[in-house]
């Protein structure tokens, strides 16, 4: 059962995704825009109504530790917001991926208008704009332009901050159902992560992707066993992740596999997949109409040969430890996660029904590293430009899964006393 705060945090990105998906469905499936909007709105209202009818759990009462953590959390949030806004004033068009891919395609969709959407994904466009990337974020920005009646740099900037704030709210709200202190501590860890804050300020799609993955994980860790609605909603959020970036399909597959292994019932997996189906249908239709990703144009034998290349492995092994201690990007957060894995994980248990789900972030990292080794470009360059974004995608989920583990004694209990 979910709290009111988590329910609101889930509904905001869900309706944003549905608003974007409706416009793409009208284009790909040739249905009237009002019909697509109405169908996806009914889908969102159905999930909202289903979650609203459920009992809600109250977090334990606050104490002195809770008040101290509240001060630290809101102070860190203020610093993070000020840093992000300052960055946005200096770079209003966002980071490289924002103006090369996401904002470029949003402007194209807005200027092309109804009937001209296909031109935004033409194979004649320069390859670095990645026309095969799913259009959830560009379509959402374009709809923002339509509502405003003009293009505005404020719309993608505000969306970046909104999805970052929603990710924080999900982590806090989900962990507060276990303990208020855990919720505040998880939120504090997230807003004090430099890489996450800068990804939001850079208007990258990795932040919306992180929000959808976190939403799926939050629903699974707070659900009551045997209740089908959270599984449907978790599948929908995982489908939204797949509809946001190509990497989202990996997260969808890993979360679905975790549901299968944790539940050991085909019925549960069917509920999960059913929730994802509308977005998977959009994704398949879209992928059939655009040029394939450059990574898929290389032969499987060549990719396998690169995967076994000792030189590429050595390059990766040299770069990975440096990233863990790159303080200006990750602070001490990755060091803390490594210390948890080495010294504290064995002293704790995952939340009931989440044993395999707790391994999802590790599986995602291993899969991403395998893809980096097998892709045809220089591995050192690709690692440097992608690893932070790949970690941002799962960072809120890591904090959520760690925070919901059961310890023989929660590390902050002694401080609270």
- Dump pLDDT digits (tens) for 268-285: 999 999 999 999 999 999
The domain total for the chain is: 1
Flag whether pLDDT at 170 surpasses 60.
yes
Flag whether pLDDT at 412 surpasses 70.
no
**Containing domain of residue 248, as a range?**
4-56+66-297
Judge whether 293 lies within some domain: yes
**Neighbouring residues of 49: CB distance < 8 A, sequence distance ≥ 6:** none
pLDDT interval class at 410 (50, 70, 90): low
Apex 253 CA angle, 303 and 316, nearest 5: 40
Mean of the pLDDT values across residues 250-255? 97
pTM for this entry: 0.92
- Dump pLDDT digits (tens) for 92-112: 999 989 999 999 999 999 999
Please state, rounded to an integer, the average pLDDT across all residues of the chain. Answer: 88
- Name which of 277, 266, 346, 240 is nearest 18 in CA terms: 240
- Give me 390's structure tokens: 């790949």
By the 8 A CB rule, do 156 and 104 touch? no
Judge whether 394 lies within some domain: no
Flag whether pLDDT at 5 surpasses 90.
no
Judge whether 185 lies within some domain: yes
Judge whether 272 lies within some domain: yes
Judge whether 235 lies within some domain: yes
The pLDDT of residue 50:
64
- Give me 388's structure tokens: 């932070």
Flag whether pLDDT at 332 surpasses 70.
yes
The pLDDT of residue 63:
59
Judge whether 77 lies within some domain: yes
Apex 210 CA angle, 205 and 216, nearest 5: 130
The pLDDT of residue 55:
47
Judge whether 355 lies within some domain: no
Residue 337 burial (CB count, 10 A): 19
From CA 208, how far away is CA 392, in angstroms rounded?
10
The pLDDT of residue 398:
96
Judge whether 400 lies within some domain: no
For residue 355, CA distances in Å to 251, 365, 380 come to 16, 18, 34
Strand, coil or helix: what is 247? helix
């Amino acid at each position: 059962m979910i709290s009111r705060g988590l329910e609101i945090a889930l509904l905001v990105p869900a309706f944003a995704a549905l608003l974007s998906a409706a416009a793409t469905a009208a284009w790909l499936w040739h249905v009237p825009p009002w019909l697509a909007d109405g169908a996806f709105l009914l889908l969102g209202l159905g999930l909202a109504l289903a979650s609203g009818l459920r009992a809600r759990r109250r977090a334990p009462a606050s104490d002195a530790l809770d008040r101290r953590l509240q001060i630290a959390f809101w102070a860190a949030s203020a610093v993070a917001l000020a840093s992000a806004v300052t960055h946005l004033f200096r770079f209003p068009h966002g980071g490289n991926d924002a103006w090369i891919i996401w904002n470029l395609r949003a402007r194209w969709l807005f200027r092309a208008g109804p009937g001209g959407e296909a031109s935004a994904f033409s194979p004649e466009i320069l390859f670095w704009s990645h026309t095969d990337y799913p259009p959830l974020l560009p379509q959402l920005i374009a709809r923002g332009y339509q509502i405003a009646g003009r293009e505005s740099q404020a719309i993608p900037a505000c969306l970046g901050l909104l999805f970052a704030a929603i990710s924080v709210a999900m982590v806090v709200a989900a962990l507060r159902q276990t303990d208020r202190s855990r919720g505040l501590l998880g939120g504090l860890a997230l807003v004090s992560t430099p890489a996450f804050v800068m990804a939001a300020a850079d208007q990258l799609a990795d932040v919306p992707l992180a929000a959808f993955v976190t939403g799926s994980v939050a629903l699974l860790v707070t659900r009551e066993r045997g209740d089908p609605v959270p599984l449907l909603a978790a599948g929908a959020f995982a489908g939204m992740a797949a509809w946001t970036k190509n990497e989202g399909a990996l997260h969808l597959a890993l979360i679905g596999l975790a549901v299968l292994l944790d539940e050991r019932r085909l019925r549960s997996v069917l509920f999960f997949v059913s929730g994802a189906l509308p977005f998977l249908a959009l994704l398949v239709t879209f992928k059939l109409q655009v040029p394939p990703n450059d990574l898929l144009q290389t032969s499987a034998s060549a990719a396998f040969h690169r995967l076994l290349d000792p030189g590429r492995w050595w390059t990766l092994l040299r770069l990975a430890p440096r990233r863990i201690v790159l303080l200006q990007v990750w602070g001490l957060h990755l060091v803390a996660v490594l210390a948890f894995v080495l010294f504290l994980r064995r002293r704790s248990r995952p939340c009931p029904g989440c044993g395999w789900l707790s391994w999802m972030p590790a599986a995602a990292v291993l899969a991403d590293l395998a893809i980096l080794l097998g892709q045809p470009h220089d591995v050192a360059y690709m690692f440097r430009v992608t690893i932070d974004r790949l970690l941002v995608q799962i960072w809120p989920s890591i904090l959520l899964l760690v925070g919901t583990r059961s310890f023989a004694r929660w590390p902050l209990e002694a401080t609270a006393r």
